[in-house]
A and B are shown apart, each in its own frame.
Chain A
C-alpha cells in the first residue's frame, strides 16, 4: 500500500469525482456536499502523509504500471512537488467547503469538476514526463473551462470563450514544442531529457533551443506572464469568486513547470543551452510586475484588484525563477505558498463583501455598509497586510527573503527599485480599497435597515470556516517560518541537485 502512496493524490480525486457523480451523491444535495468535503480533506491528509514520507525517505519515484523510466511514465514526489500537492489539495478542500454554503447550486456538477481540477493540478505537479505534463494540463484545463462557466452570465461567456481559445492555441504550441524536443532528444522523460541535452551537438542545439523556448511561451500563457497575461484579469474577475480562489493555484502550475524545465532540463548542466531562458524570463518578469502594479492602481472593483495582485505575484515568482540560485528558488517556494493562500483568501473576502453590500457589490465606491464589519474588516486587514508584505505576516518574510536573494544578481539595481515601487503601489491601492469599502457609506441608509440586513446576510458557518483557514495561513506561515523556510531550502537544494535527481529517477543513470 505504502509504495502506491505517490499515486494516491492523483487517483483519489479521480475516484472522488466519479463517486460524486453516482447515486446517492448525485441525487442528494446534503450527501453530495458532505462527501465532497470529506473526500477533499482525505486527499489533503494523504498528501500530508506523502510529504512526511518524502521527508523521511527522500524522493519517491513511482513507475506507473511498473514500466521503469525512461520507457514508462514515472511520478516523482520530491519535496517541492509534494509541498505543492499539499497546497492544491488544501485549497481544493477549502473551496469545496466554502462552496457548500450555496455557491455549488448555481450550476451543475460543481463538486465533481473541482475534484477533476485537483486531479489535473496534482498530476501536473507530480509527473516526471513532459508529455504526461501536457495530458494533465489538458485535464485541469477542461475542468477549469467548465468551472469558469459555473453560474455565469453573459460577460462570463465572453471571457470563457476567449480563455478557451487562448488555451487551445497554447495546447497546440505545447504539442509542437514536445514534438521538436522528442525529435531531437528521443525522450520526453524529464530526467532523461536533462541528461541528453548535455550531449547535443551541431544543429540539434538550435532545434532544442526552439523547442525549449516554445515551451516558455506555453508556460508564460498558463502562468500569465507579460505579453500573454491579458486573459487573466477578465477571466478571474468574471468567474465566481470561489472558482477564482481555486484558480489561484493554476497560474502557479505554469510557474512550477518553468522551475522544473529551466532548472532541471535547461539548467546548470545543459551544455550550450545552459540558462537559455534566463534572460527572457528576467525582463518579462520585471515587465509583468510593472503592468500588474499599474493594473492594481487602476482596478475598479475588488475582484479585478485581486486579479492584478495575482499578476504581480506571478512576475515576482518568475523573476526568482530567472535568478536560478538555490536561495532564490527557496524564496520562490515560500512566496508561492504564501501568495496562493492569500490571493484565495482575498477572492473569498471579495465575494463575502460583495454579498453583504447588496447592489454596489464589490466595486470600490461608497455604498451600503457590510453587515458584519468586525469579522470581514479584521480578515481583510490580515489578508491585506500579508499581501502587501508588511511585518509581521508571511508576506514580509517572503519579501525580505526575495530581496536578499536578488541582492547578488547582476541587475539588482533594476529589480529592487521596481519591486519596491510596485509594493508601494499595491500598498496604496489595497489601503484605498479597504478604507472605501469599509468606512465610506452612503448617508441615506437608516440604522434600522442596516440592522435588518445584518440579520439576513450573515456569513454561513461553512464559509466562515473556509475563510478562517485561509486567513489564518498568513500568521501561521510567519509563526512557523523557521521550519517552513528550512523545508523550502531543502526543496530548492533538491531541485538544483542535478546528479542526484537523475540518479534517483533513472535506474542506472550516471
Chain B
C-alpha cells in the first residue's frame, strides 16, 4: 500500500509541476489543482497509513490520527477557494491581455509559426 500511495503522490506532483511550468494559463491552473491533490494526499499520510481504523473513540480497536485528517480537510477547502479564484483571474487575464499566456504576451517565435 505504501508503494502505491507514494507513487500516486509522486506522479501527481510530477504532473503538477510539469503543467505549472507551461506558458499558458489553462495548463497552469490544471497543474496547480494536481499539485494540491498530491500535497493533500501527502499531508494525509503524515499521520501514518493504516487500514480499518477509526478516527473517533469507541468505533474500532485501532485508531487513526485524526489531526492530519483535519489538516487535509482545511487544506482542501482553502485549495478549492484558491483554485476558483485563479480560474476567474485567468479568464479576466484572457479578456484583458488578449491572450492566455502567463506573461501576458505571445513569444515572438510562436507568433510567426502558428498564426
Contacts and interface: CB of A to CB of B under 8 A. Distances in A.
Contacts of A161: 25, 86, 89-90, 93, 102, 104
Contacts of A498: none
Nearest to A141: B82
Interface string B86-105: 10011011001100001110
Nearest to A160: B89
Contacts of A169: 20, 32, 35
Interface string A125-150: 00000010001001000100100010
Contacts of B54: none
Given A138-B78, A138-B82, A157-B97, A182 B67 contact: yes
Nearest to A180: B46
A178 B104 CA distance: 34
A interface, over-half SS:
helix
B68 to A, nearest CB: 7
Given A131-B74, A165-B20, A175 B39 contact: yes
B59 interface: no
Contacts, number: 88
Interface in B71-93: 71, 74-75, 78-79, 81-82, 85-86, 89-90, 92-93
Interface string B6-50: 000000000000001000010010001001100110110111100
A445 interface: no
B43 A179 contact: yes
A158 B35 contact: no
B interface, over-half SS:
helix
A391 interface: no
Contacts of A172: 32, 35-36, 39
Given A165-B32, A169-B32, A154 B71 contact: no
Q: In the complex, which range does the number of interface residues on chain A fall in?
A: 20 to 34
A183 interface: yes
Contacts of A162: 102
A479 interface: no
Contacts of A131: 71, 74
A164 interface: yes
Contact of B43 (A138, A153, A158, A175): A175
Contacts of A179: 39, 42-43, 45-46, 68, 71
A154 B75 contact: no
Contact of B104 (A145, A158, A171): A158
Given A157-B93, A158-B97, A161-B102, 13 more contacts: A131-B74, A138-B78, A145-B89, A154-B97, A157-B89, A158-B104, A161-B25, A165-B20, A171-B78, A172-B32, A179-B43, A183-B46, A183-B48
The 5 closest A-B pairs by CB, nearest first: A183-B46, A158-B104, A179-B46, A179-B43, A157-B96
29 contacts: A131-B71, A142-B81, A142-B85, A145-B85, A154-B96, A154-B97, A157-B92, A157-B104, A158-B104, A160-B89, A161-B25, A161-B86, A162-B102, A164-B85, A165-B28, A165-B32, A165-B86, A165-B102, A168-B36, A171-B79, A171-B82, A176-B39, A178-B71, A179-B42, A179-B45, A179-B46, A182-B46, A182-B67, A183-B46
Interface of B: 20, 25, 28, 32, 35-36, 39-40, 42-43, 45-48, 67-68, 71, 74-75, 78-79, 81-82, 85-86, 89-90, 92-93, 96-97, 102-104
